Amino acid sequence: MHELAAAQPGKNRRYIQLEPGPMEAELVDARLGSVQVFRERLGAGMFVEAAPPASLLPFGIILSARGDIRFCGRDLHPANVAQAAGGGWDIRFDGPIDYVSCVFQRAWFEHEASALLGHAPFDDWFRNGGRPASSSAIGHLRTMITRTLERMMHQPSLLADDRTRKALEAELVRLTVGALTSTDVPTPVAAYGRRRRGVRRAIEYLTDHPDADTTVAGLCSVGEISERTLEYGFREDLGVTPVRFLKLVRLNGARRDLLRAAGCSSEPPTTVTEIALRWGFFEFGRFAGEYRRFFGERPSETLRRP
C-alpha cells in the first residue's frame, strides 16, 4: 500500500485493505500541465483516505466495480461523477474497482469553466460527493481520459508538444464541465443580437488567428457568451458546432501547410506527423482518415505533390 500512496505524492493518501488475499494494483498517470489524468485498478476491497491540497480539484469516474461503493459516507453510483473537492475525502468499496480521474489545478479550472458557462462555477461543484451525470456525457469524459492515457503510454513524446498538451487540457475541462451540467436544466441562450455578435467575434478571431491554440473556452471569452449560446449560434449560422468548426479550421490549416511543404524543396523535409501535431491532431490515424474523407486524398499524398 505504501507504493500506491507514494505514486501520488502530495495527496496524503492512505490505503487499508479490507479483504483477505493477494493485492493486485495498477496506477497509470499522465501530467499535462494544469491537469493530471490517471487510472487506478485495485483488486480487493479497500478503505482509502486522502487529503489533497486545496489548489487541486479532483473528479473521478468508475469504470467497473463489483460491489457497493461508499464515498464520503454516501453511496456512489457508477453513473455519478465523484467530486473530491472539499478537502479530505474517503472511499470504501467491496471487491475490485477500476476508475479514472481528472485532477485540475483549481484556479485554472475555475477560469476555464467560467468561460464555458458564462458565469462562475456552481458552489456545489466544490463539495465532496457524487454528482449525477447523463450516460452520454459521462461516457464521453470516460473515453477521453482513457484514450489520453493510452496515447501517453504509446507516444510519450506527445507531452513534449505544448500545443498538444493544451488541446488535451481544453478538451478534458470541456467534457468535465459537460458532465457536471448534463442533468441540470439548460440555461437559456442569449438573445439573437448578442448571440450573433458573439459568434461573429469568434469566427473573426479564428480567421485572424488560424494557427492559434484556440479552445472552446477561449472562443467563449472572445465572444463574451457561454458555451451553450456559442454552440446554438454556430449551429444557427454555420450548421456545425464550435468544436466541429475548430476541427475544420485546423484541417484546412494542415492542408495549407502540407501543400506549402510539398512545393518547397529548399528547406529540410517536413513530415505529416509534424504538421498534424502543429495543428493539434494527436490521433494520427483519425486525422489521416478525416483528411482523406474531406479532401479526397491522404495527407502523405498531398505532401508528395510535385
Give the chain's domain count: 3
Mean pLDDT of 293-302: 93
Q: Is residue 215 in a domain?
A: yes
What local confidence, expressed as pLDDT, does residue 201 receive? Answer: 92
Q: At which of 136, 170, 204 does a domain end?
A: 170
Of 32, 56, 60, 162, nearest in space to 110 by CA: 56
pLDDT for residue 191 is more than 80: yes
Same domain, 45 and 151: yes
Burial of 160 (0-12, 13-18, 19+ CB in 10 A): exposed
The reply to whether 82 and 15 lie within a common domain is yes
Domain match, 82 and 10 both? yes
Q: Could you report the per-residue pLDDT of 241-296, keeping only the tens digit for each?
A: 888 888 888 899 899 999 988 877 546 567 888 888 888 787 788 899 999 999 99
Is 66 part of a structural domain of the chain?
Answer: yes
Residues 6+ apart with CB under 8 A from 92: 18, 45, 46, 47, 48, 69, 70
Within a domain: residue 180? no
Phi, psi values for residue 28, rounded to 5°: -125, 130
Closest to 227 in 3D by CA, of 194, 254, 189, 253: 189
Computed over every residue of the chain, the mean pLDDT equals 87
Task: Assess whether 112 and 195 both reside in one domain.
Answer: no
Q: pTM for this structure?
A: 0.79
Answer whether residue 176 is part of any domain.
no
The answer to whether residue 175 is domain-embedded is no
CA angle 145, 133, 147 (to 5 degrees): 10
Q: 103 and 198 share a domain?
A: no
- pLDDT band, residue 137 (cuts 50/70/90): very high
Query: Average of pLDDT values for 94-116?
Result: 93
Domain shared by 252 and 133, yes or no: no
Q: Does residue 163 share a domain with residue 21?
A: yes
SS3 category, 207: helix
Domain with 193, as residue range(s), is 185-239
Is 179 among the domain residues?
Answer: no
Q: What's residue 62's pLDDT?
A: 94
CATH (domain of 281)? 1.10.10.60
Per-residue confidence (pLDDT) for residue 212, from 0 to 100 = 67
What average pLDDT does the segment 55-77 reach?
91
User: Is residue 42 within a helix (H) or strand (E), and if so which, with residue range?
Assistant: strand 35-42
- Per-residue pLDDT, averaged over 127-150, amounts to 92
What DSSP element (H or E) covers 209? none
